[in-house]
Amino acid sequence: MGAICPGSFEDAIAEHEQELAICELLADQLGMAVAHRRIGECYGELGSFDDALRHQRLHLDLAQRGGSVIEQQRAHATIGLTHFRRAETCDAGTTEEIQALNNAEESFRQSLQMCEMLRSTITDIEYNEMKARLLMNFGLS
């Protein structure tokens, strides 16, 4: 399998922006949140961390307004991963790297809190998978 080219992510962003526009027309708040998450993930893959975080924060805001704990958990985890990936691009020991790692850790901790809030509402398998992914990311930071 070959590497994914940047054009693929740019195409995906355009498709997710269409998804976002439709969700806005339908006043589908959760759909809008998910579209922002997907757009943010694509920008993160392209290394456009500021754009990624802007969309991921919109994802979090919409998830909070909609009361979706699972989307809030995903938002915090995705934001943490984006901060971690940003830190990987910084020179070691710089203020920028340290700040990005601190931001990643804080977001992962918030995600872990949300994971625990979900414990009684999801299956054991879902909980274990969610927590394992999160702890793996947390361990990287």
Res. 139: pLDDT tops 90: no
What distance in Å separates the CA atoms of residue 62 and residue 79, rounded to the nearest whole number? 14
Does residue 44 lie within any of the structural domains?
Answer: yes
42 contact partners, CB below 8 Å, separation of at least 6: 9, 10, 12, 13, 16, 52
Does residue 1 lie within any of the structural domains?
Answer: no
Chain segment 72-118, per-residue pLDDT in tens: 999 999 999 999 999 999 999 999 999 999 999 999 999 999 999 99
Are 37 and 77 a contacting pair, CB within 8 Å?
Answer: no
CA torsion 102-106-108-110 (nearest 10°) is 180
CATH number at residue 42: 1.25.40.10
Does residue 74 lie within any of the structural domains?
Answer: yes
Does residue 64 lie within any of the structural domains?
Answer: yes
Domain count, the chain: 1
* Domain ranges, residue 27: 6-140
Distance linking the first and last C-alpha atoms of the chain: 28
